[in-house]
Chains A and B, each alone.
Chain A
């Protein structure tokens, strides 16, 4: 029983991380039709930053200062990457150049990390206090990620309803041409979407640094996990991504528990092939078709 609860909590906790990556991917996808292969590198980058600079506990105010710096830097980096990704798409007829440019961005970021930290996998301690759970103690990072996920959902919702630029971002995801004729600056907003997505991923990586294996080679794993969650939840559907993310986290944790860590990726592959074959529009369906 206790084991089951721990499995569940761990699953939901890592699931929250996957959901956060999926929400980031969705945000960019909704605004620009791009799936950012480099998103995983931002997660790892935040983890690396946590390794080098963050104090070991959140009680230290420096921890929060570093968090803000990490978020700002990664958001700016993501916005820049967004601009570099979108530029060839605006001029050339090849609307799929993003696949190459985002992979290239991922490789460049990965190579830089490889040159600085090497191929090793680094570990970071959990800065959050543990919380009691059915007679044992669970790592606080799980709780932090879940709280952050809920916060992100509400903040995004609020932003996309209340703020004018949020409304515009929302509009862009519904009807590109109508948004343009309304005077919405598409490129600026798409870069903003990259930046927000970068920020969300950065916080996820910083909070969850103790839960992920921080090495350059893991970055694409998290992209694949995030993509799987986004597809199962219905592309672009954030609420779907949250449910799919939590469920996927539990599944992955169970697979890992029963068959070992090596079974995680093969199980993911199986899942994504099955979903694409049986229900390509995802379990929760798309919110709406994007008019391009």
Chain B
């Protein structure tokens, strides 16, 4: 279980998130919806240690990780795949995947050939480009690569920040299905999105964030009226 209690976070003096509470359960996809600037990425970055927690606590299992460094949090099994598919552009596809195991102690590392085979089974397109430098991949392929890189580190919790960003709509289901499958294996998934339709299909729980505050949260069954959900996200933009 990953618990966020009364969290405030931001950049420098700027507070973007205010007094936020959140629970992420293993085996579930928690979908965080919100418009641009709602504080979604800030939330993930604060949990994963990229930006300091200004107030409140983040607890994973028995550990209070609020003050931990990003490296340590990653090694603890909380893996943040940042927005904009931040793979390492000058490394090959294979090397990007191999690097994923860096956060594991030697005893938990698996044979590189095995992890590569598994990865290419899930995303065959990456197998075709295994020897290319990652900068030559399309946006969608880079997103797949970033996810695979996180996956091979066998995380307990996987955060995925706007995987659909800048991707062709047709590629999105494949990526979302990958996340669903990981949740079904027992991983706790946090999926951050601004798009509603497709992510909603794979989600178990929904949290709506706007201007740094949680507007609504609950089981996915409570959020089946998509236009109402869109109105909630965008505020007065669409007539209610």
Interface residues of A (CB under 8 A from B): 161, 164-165, 167-168, 170-171, 174-175, 177-186, 287-288, 291
Contacts and interface: CB of A to CB of B under 8 A. Distances in A.
Contacts of A185: 71
State the main secondary structure of chain A at its contact with B.
helix
A182 B50 contact: no
Interface stretch (B55-63, B84-92, B203-211, B228-236): B84-92
A87 to B, nearest CB: 14
A181 B149 contact: no
A183 B75 contact: yes
A178 B87 contact: yes
Given A167-B99, A181-B50, A287-B90, 6 more contacts: A170-B88, A177-B70, A177-B82, A181-B48, A182-B74, A184-B71
Given A180-B74, A181-B79, A182-B153, A164 B99 contact: yes
B89 A182 contact: no
A181 B95 contact: no
A247 B49 CA distance: 45
Nearest to B85: A178
A124 to B, nearest CB: 39
Contacts of B80: 181
Contacts of A184: 71, 102-103
Contact of B70 (A161, A181, A287): A181
Output the residue of A161, A164, A182, A288 with the most chain B CB within 10 A: A182
A115 to B, nearest CB: 39
A174 B153 contact: no
Contact of B99 (A171, A177, A287, A288): A171
Interface residues of B, number: 29
A181 B74 CA distance: 6
B88 A171 contact: yes
Contacts of B71: 180, 183-186
A183 B102 contact: yes
A287 B90 CA distance: 9
Contacts of A167: 91, 95, 98-99, 102
Interface string B147-179: 001100100000000000000000000000000
Nearest to B159: A181
A224 to B, nearest CB: 29
Nearest to B44: A181
16 contacts: A164-B98, A164-B99, A164-B102, A170-B88, A171-B99, A174-B88, A177-B86, A178-B87, A181-B48, A181-B70, A182-B79, A182-B149, A182-B153, A183-B104, A184-B103, A287-B90
B95 A175 contact: no
A288 to B, nearest CB: 6
B70 A178 contact: no
Contacts of A175: 86, 88
B141 interface: no
Nearest to A181: B80
Nearest to A171: B88
Given A161-B95, A171-B91, A175-B88, A180 B70 contact: yes
Output the residue of B49, B80, B86, B153 with the most chain A CB within 10 A: B86
Interface in B97-130: 98-104
Contacts of B89: 174, 288
Contacts of B50: 177, 180-181
Nearest to A291: B86
A43 to B, nearest CB: 29
A183 B87 contact: no
Nearest to A186: B71
Nearest to A180: B70
Contacts of A174: 88-91
